Each structure stands twice: as C-alpha cells, then as structure tokens.
Amino acid sequence: MKHTHYIRQSYLFCVYRNYMYDFQKYFYGKNVLEFGPNKGALFEKYYPISNKYTLVEPNKHFEKNYIKLQKRHSNLYYEFNDFEAFNANETFDTIVMMAVISHIKLDSQKIYSKIDSLLNKDGFLIIETNNTKRNLDVLAICDRNLEKVESKTSYNGIMKWLKIDYRDVLVYRKV
C-alpha cells in the first residue's frame, strides 16, 4: 500500500485538533481500540493513562512508527488489519475511529453492528465525520442507538478560523 505524507498528524495539526485537550475521561484506565490510526501520533498523549491501547491499521508502512511508540508505551499493541476483517477475543471500553469510516467497504448498518459487538456496555465511541458523504449513515444509526455525549468541531484556533476542514468529532456512550 502506498504511503503519502499525512499532514494531519504533524505536530501543528495535532495541537489544533481540539479533542486532544479534554478526552482523558474516555481513556483513563480503559481498554482502548483505535482503527486507522495512521502514524499513531494523534492520541499518543492518552496512551500512558490507558490500561491497554490497540492500534488496528491496514497500512504496514507505519510499523516503524509503532515500534518507536511501543518503546515509550509498553501497553501499546498493534495489528495490521482492516476494520472489515478484524476479529477480537476481547471487547473494549473505548473505540476510536477518526476520519476512517469513509474508507470502510461495508454498508453502514454492518459497520455499526461490528462497532456494537466490540464495545462494552457504558463504553465510548469517539468518531470523526468525513469530508465525503460515504458511510455517514453510521452516525445516524449511532444517534438512534447510542447516547451522544459530546460533539465538537475537529479544529480550534487558527485552523478553525482558516476554515480548512469542516469535520466534527462525536463521542457516544453505549447505554
């Protein structure tokens, strides 16, 4: 799989992706699963407070990034797989899917059902919308079945002012 430079995980972009600031409660002591983490930089500050953090990413190019991260965080695990084929013999307290649902080749109901099967009761889903409409129905299904805890724009500060990205980050709780 070809790798392209991913500017949204550069230091400056991470600083301005505003959900970075106050999401501790969704990670503290939790068993976390993140799909499509790319380099894994976005949520690194939450790795130390999580109980266990698993990255599931189809692009093997990022292995060198994950090996480096594992040297700093012994509770970090990774698997090269896509959402569609991923299977686990455990369930999770928090599932993270940032800008990833548009890449998944399943219909929205199947995507939701798989998230539901992996998520513990009272668990959290942190999900970012796409800039495309693909699979956005997943969010409508989440609205009907989960409790929406937070909704915020993806960027703050100068990034928001520049209007370069219109995504939102949503947090749901499984009731």
Ligand X SMILES: C[S@@+](CC[C@H](N)C(=O)[O-])C[C@H]1O[C@@H](n2cnc3c(N)ncnc32)[C@H](O)[C@@H]1O
Binding site for ligand X (CB under 6 A): 8-9, 35-38, 42, 57-59, 82-84, 98-100, 103-104
Nearer to ligand X among residue 16 and residue 83 (C-beta) = 83
Which lies closer to ligand X via its Cβ, residue 31 or residue 59?
59
Token pair 């990833």 is found at 100
Q: Which residue lies nearer to ligand X by CB, 37 or 123?
A: 37
Burial label, 154 (beta-carbon count in 10 A; 0-12, 13-18, 19+): buried
Measured CA distances, 138 to 24, 59, 74, 79 (Å): 25, 23, 33, 24
Return d(Cα 107, Cα 157) in angstroms, integer: 35
Q: CB of 56: closest distance to ligand X in angstroms?
A: 6
- C-alpha to C-alpha distances, 54 to 91, 102, 107, 164, 165, nearest whole angstrom: 11, 21, 24, 30, 27
CB of 141 to ligand X, least distance (A): 18
Report the nearest approach of ligand X to the CB of residue 131 (Å). 9
- Return the number of the residue (122 or 132) whose C-beta is nearest ligand X: 132
Give the shortest CB-54-to-ligand X separation in angstroms.
13
Closest CB to ligand X among residues 36, 123: 36
Work out how close the CB of 55 gets to ligand X at its nearest, in angstroms, rounded to a whole number: 10
If we measure between CA atoms, which residue out of 80, 68, 31 comes closest to residue 51?
Answer: 31
Beta-strand relationship, 147-153 and 168-173? antiparallel
**Distance between CA 110 and CA 172 in Å, rounded?**
18
